[in-house]
C-alpha cells in the first residue's frame, strides 16, 4: 500500500516539476531604463541600464533592430548561467554610436535543447554623437628603419591630424606573427593584440587626446637605452576612442632591420704612442707623435665610421674640421651616429678630440653606396686598426701635458674616454 502511494506522489511531483519547467521562460524580467537616451557624453541620460533574468543556463544575445530592420548586436551568443543580469549600454555597437532613431531592443536566450525565447521593447536614441574621431593624413615614414644609432634611417615619424577631442589615444606596434598576438575568436569587436610596443608622443603643447597635428618619433626605444623590437615586419596601430564611445583605428606597416644597440671598444683600452725618432714621449717642435689602437665591434649591429683615414697626418694646429675643408671631404666633418677613434689632450683650447680617425682601414670595413654616398661600416665581431701621426708645430700652453684616446659615437656618447693617458713634452730647441 505504502509504496504505491509513494510512487503516485513521486509521479505527481515529477509531473509538476516538468510542467513548471516547461512553463518557466528562459529569460524574464527584462527591461531597459530609460527608454530614451542621448549618447553624446554630456552627462545627461547618456546610457541605458539593461536588466534581465536568465532562468536556465543559456546562450544570450542582446541586439537592437533599427527602423530598416537591421540587427545591431551588442552581445552575441554569450554563455550565461541562471541569475539576474544588469549591463549598461551607451548606444555603442562595434565602436560606433548608433544614429538617432527608434530601435527595438531584443534579449534572446537559447538553451542546450535549442529552445529560443525573446524579450523585447523599444528604445529611442536622440542627439547621438555619431561623429567618430578621424586620423587625417596618417603617415609612417620611412617604411623601413634601422634603429642602431648610426645616423641612417634610425627613426620613423608617425604623423596625423586628429579631428576631435577624444578620451583616449593609443599608438603602438605589434608583430602579427607573434603567437602571443594570435586573434582570439572568442573575443568579439576590434582585434586587440596582446604584446604591444607602445610609442610615446614627443613633448609638445597639444596633448595626445586633443585635436590637431600629432607627431611620434620612433627609434625603437634605443635612445632611452632599450633594445628595439627584433628585426621584422610590424603593424603600426593608432586608435582613439571619444567620450561617446566612437572608436577609430588606422594601421600601417613598419619594417625594422639591423636594429640594436651598437657596442664597440678600444681593445684593452690600449693606445700606443711614441716619438718615431727615438721611441720616447719627448718630441721636438716639428717632430711627430705616432699612435696605434685597435677598435672592436662587440655588438650585434654594424657601426658606421668615416675618415680621416688611418695613416692621416695632422698638424697640431689642425683638427678634423679643418682637414675636412682642406681635403674637400664633407664626410670628415662631425656626423650624427658616426664612430671615430680620436686623441684629445690637456690645454687643448680648440675642438674637443681634434684628431679623429675612422675606426679601421678600408680593408677592415664594409663600404657601400647609400643614398648616393659611400658609407663604411665595421661589422659585428670585426676589428679595425687605427694609426696616425700628429706633427707638433708649437709648444702648447701647458707643457708637458697629458694626451689620451677615446672612441666617439658622435652626437651620442664618448666611450673609453681617457684611454691610455700618457704624458708628452714638446721640446723647443730655442729654449
Ligand atoms: Ca546625453
Ligand atoms: Ca640606422
Ligand atoms: Ca724624443
In tens digits, what is the pLDDT along the chain, a chain of 431 residues? Answer: 444 555 555 555 544 444 444 447 899 999 999 999 999 999 999 999 999 999 999 999 999 999 999 999 999 999 999 999 999 999 999 999 999 999 999 999 999 888 999 999 999 999 999 999 999 999 999 999 999 999 999 999 999 999 999 999 999 999 999 888 887 766 555 678 888 999 988 767 788 999 999 999 999 988 888 889 999 999 999 999 999 999 999 999 999 999 999 999 999 999 999 999 999 999 999 999 999 999 999 999 999 999 999 999 999 999 999 999 999 999 999 999 999 999 999 977 778 999 999 999 999 999 999 989 999 999 999 999 999 999 999 998 899 999 999 999 999 999 999 999 999 999 987 76
pTM score of the predicted model: 0.77
Q: What is the CATH number of domain 22-125?
A: 2.60.40.2550
- The bound ligand whose nearest atom lies closest to the alpha carbon of 287 is 3
Distance 153 CA to ligand 3 centre (A): 47
Q: What one-character DSSP code corresponds to residue 179?
A: G
| Positive/negative CA dihedral, 184, 188, 191, 193 | negative
Q: How far is the CA of 66 from the centre of ligand 1 (A)?
A: 20
| Longest alpha-carbon distance in the chain | 142
Surrounding residues of ion ligand 3, Cβ less than 5 A:
275, 278, 280, 282
Give residues whose Cβ lies within 5 Å of ion ligand 2: 146, 148, 150, 152, 154
Rounded-to-integer distance, Cα 269 and Cα 182, Å: 48
Domain boundaries, the chain: 22-125, 135-256, 264-427
| 135-256 matches 22-125 in CATH topology | yes
Ligand number, closest to the Cα atom of 145? 2
Q: Compute the CA torsion angle 281, 307, 311, 418 (nearest 10 deg).
A: 20
Which CATH class for the 135-256 domain? Answer: mainly beta
Distance (Å) from CA 125 to ligand 1 centroid: 10
Cβ 270 vs Cβ 363: under 8 Å: no
CA of 100 to the centre of ligand 1 (A): 12
Q: What is the CATH number of domain 264-427?
A: 2.60.40
d(CA 31, CA 107): 9
Cα–Cα dist 195/380, whole Å: 29
Amino acid at each position: 500500500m505504502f509504496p504505491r502511494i509513494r510512487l503516485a506522489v513521486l509521479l505527481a511531483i515529477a509531473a509538476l516539476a516538468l510542467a513548471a519547467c516547461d512553463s518557466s521562460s528562459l529569460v524574464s524580467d527584462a527591461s531597459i531604463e530609460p527608454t530614451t537616451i542621448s549618447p553624446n557624453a554630456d552627462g545627461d541620460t547618456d546610457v541605458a541600464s539593461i536588466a534581465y533574468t536568465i532562468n536556465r543556463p543559456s546562450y544570450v544575445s542582446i541586439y537592437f533592430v533599427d527602423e530598416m530592420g537591421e540587427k545591431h548586436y551588442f552581445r552575441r551568443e554569450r554563455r550565461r548561467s541562471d541569475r539576474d543580469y544588469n549591463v549598461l549600454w551607451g548606444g555603442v555597437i562595434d565602436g560606433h554610436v548608433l544614429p538617432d532613431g527608434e530601435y527595438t531592443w531584443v534579449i534572446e536566450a537559447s538553451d542546450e535543447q535549442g529552445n529560443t525565447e525573446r524579450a523585447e521593447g523599444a528604445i529611442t536614441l536622440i542627439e547621438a554623437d555619431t561623429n567618430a574621431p578621424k586620423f587625417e593624413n596618417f603617415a609612417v615614414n620611412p617604411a623601413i628603419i634601422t634603429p642602431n644609432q648610426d645616423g641612417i634611417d634610425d627613426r620613423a615619424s608617425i604623423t596625423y591630424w586628429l579631428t576631435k577631442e577624444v578620451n583616449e589615444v593609443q599608438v603602438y606596434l605589434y608583430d602579427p606573427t607573434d603567437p602571443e598576438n594570435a586573434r582570439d575568436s572568442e573575443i568579439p569587436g576590434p582585434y586587440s593584440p596582446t604584446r604591444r610596443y607602445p610609442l610615446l608622443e614627443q613633448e609638445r603643447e597639444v596633448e595626445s587626446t586633443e585635436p590637431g597635428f600629432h607627431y611620434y618619433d620612433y627609434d625603437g626605444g634605443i635612445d632611452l637605452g632599450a633594445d628595439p623590437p627584433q628585426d621584422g615586419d610590424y603593424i603600426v596601430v593608432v586608435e582613439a576612442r571619444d567620450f561617446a564611445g566612437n572608436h577609430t583605428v588606422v594601421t600601417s606597416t613598419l619594417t625594422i632591420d639591423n636594429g640594436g644597440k651598437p657596442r664597440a671598444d678600444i681593445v684593452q683600452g690600449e693606445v700606443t704612442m711614441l716619438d718615431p725618432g727615438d721611441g720616447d714621449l719627448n718630441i721636438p717642435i716639428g717632430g711627430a707623435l705616432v699612435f696605434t689602437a685597435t677598435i672592436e665591434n662587440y655588438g650585434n649591429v654594424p657601426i658606421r665610421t668615416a675618415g680621416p683615414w688611418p695613416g692621416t697626418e695632422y698638424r697640431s694646429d689642425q683638427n678634423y674640421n679643418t682637414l675636412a675643408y682642406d681635403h674637400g671631404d664633407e664626410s670628415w666633418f662631425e656626423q650624427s651616429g658616426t664612430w671615430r677613434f680620436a686623441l684629445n689632450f690637456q690645454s687643448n683650447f680648440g675642438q674637443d678630440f681634434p684628431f679623429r680617425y675612422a675606426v679601421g682601414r678600408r680593408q677592415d670595413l664594409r663600404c657601400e653606396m647609400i643614398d648616393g654616398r659611400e658609407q663604411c661600416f665595421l661589422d659585428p665581431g670585426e676589428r679595425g686598426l687605427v694609426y696616425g701621426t700628429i706633427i707638433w708645430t708649437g709648444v702648447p700652453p701647458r707643457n708637458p701635458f697629458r694626451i689620451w684616446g677615446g672612441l666617439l659615437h658622435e652626437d651620442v656618447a664618448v666611450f673609453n674616454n681617457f684611454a691610455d693617458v700618457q704624458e708628452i713634452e714638446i721640446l723647443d730647441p730655442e729654449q
